[in-house]
Amino acid sequence: MRKVLLTGATGYIGKRLLPILVQNGYYVICGVRDKNKFHTMESLRGCMEVIELDLTNKESLNSIPSDIDFAYYLVHSMSTSRNYDVLEKQSAINFREAIKKTNATQVIYLSGIVNSSTLSKHLHSRQNVEIELGKGTYALTTVRAGIIIGSGSASFEIIRDLVEKLPIMIAPKWLKTKCQPIGISDVIKILIGLLGNVKTYNESYDIGGNEILSYKEMLLGYAEVRGLKRNIWIVPVMTPRLSSYWLYFITSTSYKLATSLVDSMKTEVIAKDTRINTLLNITPISYKESIERAFSKIEQNEILSSWKDSTISGRMNYRISDYINVPQYGCFKDVRKRQVENTAQSIEKIWRLGGETGWYYGNWLWELRGFIDKLFGGVGLRRGRTSLNQINAGDTLDFWRVLYADKNEKRLLLFAEMKLPGEAWLEFKIVGNMLVQSATFRPKGVLGRAYWYSVLPFHGFIFKGLLNELTKGD
């Protein structure tokens, strides 16, 4: 089995690349700074191992196995330090020298598009990393991307925050800058297609979607997908410092990252060399489709689709449950835990939720919510449930839809089909002797946020009472 070193395994790209590498038959060495902060699916653990690496520390790189065949370089320091360019260059040198001691024949580096005559500090740093990595004894394959669209990427989350929170924007002039966004699914396809592909050795490629858009067009395109009316006025007087504060206070980004991003957003990032699409037979999805995919009901939807008919998944302890998780980014959560007195009894209670049984606590509030839902054209509680004791994926359960149900795994996941200014999930999972009850809400616009805070006081009453009833013995 061929071995791949995956640096940045805890990062946005790395976490999505790992299961696809395993699916494709690779044994993955995950390089992380702190093992204690790395958590992955149970079904992957027989096909991977975790080592601690600090690319700024040469000694720590001695833990890289010598028998690796390939390596991914997916790390950057943009948000960690003001002198990140110095750290990135030294990290690349240290990595290059460490990989020279292994059997690796190829290193794949994900960089930024550097076609402009004037580069930002961030893009100049990315270019320097490529130069240093290119001095190795292995073949370097570089892919250069601009804005990557997918739930959890820094750029996408900034777009989400701005559009969801601000019906009217007074924005800096860099919103006129052109870029070529690409969906995360296409990035993953390309990174996988390059691996061991000798045609791509010692080559570099620009990657992008099928549209060139200004940042303003991207914000308005996001708003259209989400059904939000937004107005944007661009003013020429907002300095880089003010722009950075604008991003910092409105979005969830750090000030250091905001400063670096503003600096980069003044530079056009347009792909000039798209040979890779022909070479790998990839047709990039549109910007709006990539946004739609980011708002799927479950995370890792791409992986579920890919693994459904996998021919090699039998060699793994494969559990589809590992890949059915509610979205994490841009969501409000109410998570409560309580020790169960009788596990079997608690499972039976969970499996009888809704319908004639009701919700065990505060039923009149559930009924009131169902009545309000009907007033606004929703389904209310009238659908009930198909069976008193059986629950299967796809079933209706009052105003919920069952996404996943497995008694052996002690897990039930529901998706709300009531009228809401956003999307909602309710999950029950017993881990050991602890019931974890999670309510997740992904708001849509300002109204969605206002809704969450308006119902928050009732959550403390309803969800606490429900959890108590589900965990106590008779």
Q: Which carries the bigger pLDDT value, residue 474 or residue 104?
A: 104
**Residues in Cβ contact with 281 at an 8 Å cutoff, skipping those fewer than 6 apart:** none
Query: Any idea which of 39-43, 123-127, 151-155, 338-342 has the lowest mean pLDDT?
Result: 39-43
Instruction: Tell me the three state secondary structure of residue 369.
Output: helix
- State the average pLDDT over residues 40-45: 79
Is a pLDDT exceeding 90 seen at residue 242? no
The β-bridge relationship of strands 168-172 and 231-235 is: parallel
CA distances to 12, 38, 77, 267 from 50, in Å: 17, 8, 21, 37
Query: Any idea which of 51-65, 170-184, 201-215, 400-414 has the lowest mean pLDDT?
Result: 170-184
- State the average pLDDT over residues 375-386: 84
Mean pLDDT of the chain: 87
Q: Which residue has the tokens 């270019």?
A: 127
CATH architecture of 3-321: 3-Layer(aba) Sandwich (3.40)
Domain range list for the chain: 3-321, 331-471
The pLDDT value recorded for residue 308 is 43
CA distance 91 to 56: 5
The pLDDT value recorded for residue 119 is 72
Q: pLDDT over 90 for what percent of the chain?
A: 55
Which of 118, 125, 123 lies closest to 146, judged by CA?
123
Q: Rounded to 5 degrees, what angle do the CA atoms 73, 76, 79 make? A: 165
The pLDDT value recorded for residue 130 is 93
CA distance 90 to 398: 58
pTM summary value: 0.87
- Give counts: helices (H), strands (E), the chain: 14, 19
Q: Which carries the bigger pLDDT value, residue 228 or residue 260?
A: 228
Query: Any idea which of 154-158, 330-334, 451-455 has the lowest mean pLDDT?
Result: 154-158
Band (311; pLDDT cuts 50, 70, 90) = very low
The pLDDT value recorded for residue 50 is 94
The pLDDT value recorded for residue 256 is 67
Are 3-321 and 331-471 in the same CATH fold?
no
Band (99; pLDDT cuts 50, 70, 90) = very high
**Using CB atoms within 10 A of its CB, is residue 472 exposed (0-12), middle (13-18) or buried (19+)?**
middle
CATH of domain 331-471: 3.30.530.20
Q: Which carries the bigger pLDDT value, residue 340 or residue 171?
A: 340
**Residues in Cβ contact with 308 at an 8 Å cutoff, skipping those fewer than 6 apart:** none
The two tokens of residue 318 are 């494969």
Q: Which amino acid is at 152?
A: G
Cα 474 off chain centre by = 41
Is a pLDDT exceeding 90 seen at residue 3? yes
The pLDDT value recorded for residue 313 is 42
Band (101; pLDDT cuts 50, 70, 90) = very high
Question: Does residue 58 contact residue 94 with C-beta atoms inside 8 Å?
Answer: yes
- State the average pLDDT over residues 327-355: 93
**Residues in Cβ contact with 82 at an 8 Å cutoff, skipping those fewer than 6 apart:** 256
Is a pLDDT exceeding 50 seen at residue 291? yes
The pLDDT value recorded for residue 315 is 46
The pLDDT value recorded for residue 304 is 55
CA distances to 28, 100, 157, 325, 354 from 303, in Å: 17, 33, 21, 12, 31
> Can you give the three-state secondary structure of 401-430, one letter per residue?
EEEEEECCCCEEEEEECCCCCEEEEEEEEE
Is a pLDDT exceeding 80 seen at residue 79? no
